[in-house]
Structure 1
Amino acid sequence: MINSMSESTLYVVATPIGNLGDMTPRAIEVLQQVDVIAAEDTRHSKKLMNHFGITTPMVPCHDHNERQQTVSLLARLAKGEAVALVSDAGTPLISDPGYFLVREVREAGYRVVPVLGACALIAALSVSGLATDRFYFEGFLPAKSSGRRKKLEALSELTATWAVYESTHRILDSLADFNQVLGADRYIVLARELTKTFETVLAGTVAEVEAILQEDSNQCRGEFVVLVEGCKEEKASDIDSQTARLLQRLIEELPPKKAAAVIADITDYRKKELYNLALTMKA
């Protein structure tokens, strides 16, 4: 039960991403006992609350009204009330609204307490078979191909595992851009509809996964987490000392990526190899 020690507290509550069995007893208890629930979409969350017999009043808190709603919620906290924040599914703030609210609540001096639960990103990582000692999360890629390719170009040099979310309507177009920018042989894992009836986890090269989706339209439906294996780190010793000195001089005048591109144009070294060395030099 929430006691007086938890007054004037914002609870950030994770909810299921599909399977209602993933709703934790603690999350149910918190949502039952707070004074108000700030929900990304009250109509969507109402179904979840009804399922678990939660009758706590709800107010909308989404991208379009978060700043305005924050003022109201801070006033409630000032009166000693407890507030819960939920998104449509999963852990709030992970590619969902809530950042501004949480920041303002903390700066106002009130407690912010996480109530742990489902998160599509972490669920996908746990079954991916990719390295997870360090990883990078980009969220959703740009909707237009030109912007998406530009972002993928920036991500392509990461040596750690990285992940993005993608939607039904853009998954094939995104994979085509993956093929174009990362290459057909880059290893990826595509997790679809996690914890739901038609959950699928596909692993292979970009070309292999893309072919599966092109052949089976059912695999294009749902919500996706796309995980990408980081590029292999190149050994600096593979680059001769004269080229390394030239690179060192260039990065004093140019960004590392541009300097690497210039030298790649006049030598047999790969741009990625030169870029990784340039980053080491700048560190």
Structure 2
Amino acid sequence: MHKKKLKLPFNKGELKKLDKPEYMKNNYATWRKFRKDSNANYYILPVEMKKYLPLLKSNSLNLYLFYCLNSNNEDGTSWYSTDSLAKSLDASTRSINTWNNDLIDLGLIYRIHDGKKSATTFLLPLSNYFVKVISPDLNKYIQTANTDIDGELVSVIHLFQWRKNSEKEEYDQPYNVVLLTFEKTIHPKQTNGEIIKKKKYVLLEIEEEIKEFSISLSAQNFQEDIYWFESPLEGKLPADILVKGIALSTVYNLKDKDYRYVLDTIETLSESIIHISEDTVLRV
């Protein structure tokens, strides 16, 4: 019979007596590793929550933490009536309604009643993020976007980049993707004119319209990190939606597995449409 080796969450190395600060750090690290290795449930609280703390009353924060700890880990949903929340937090239903309104006002949650006793509560993103999508049609995707949740579409950028040809080890493969920037602006009632902005970036690969598009400048001749070009998408969207074409140097990798790096890159690109010099415009 195969014997499974017993593994304990101890640190490797010689045992030694630790001073109190080191003991406390080791104590927490061991507990954290145990929770991770045992696949125990937990909620990841992003560091961006710090900017909300001065705006939240302690009781509203308690309610938010309750939602965080009791929501579905995958989609952030929970189903609690005002009565059940009041019972769980030892508060009045009137207080629960007030705290819910505080959280909604700050853009931390969204609640839908649908005529049911228990409302559906949705946790909302706390920070900027991006998602990759494949769609056959840019216009249709824009039309299906929920601006009430994601915010307004503030920019559309046709990104072009030469990708590496694995057979020839040269950067001669065209790669096209559309960067959509949605911006949600929140005006909390309990602040003195302070606003909160959250952005959702969509890297949209369109299957037909621009898949084979390329520019006249080869990867080897790039002298700048980014260039403007006239995109074939210009004029194909509603008049109030401006499309910019940006060619990106091969120094940057839009397909990198480091999502933080990709987010930093596309945030810079989204802002760049204001700052790109006219001297870097290409005609293709």
TM-score of the superposition, structure 1-length normalised? Answer: 0.29
Bigger fraction of residues in helix? 1
Greater relative contact order (CA < 8 Å, ≥ 6 in sequence)? 1
Bigger fraction of residues in strand? 2
Higher-Rg structure is 2
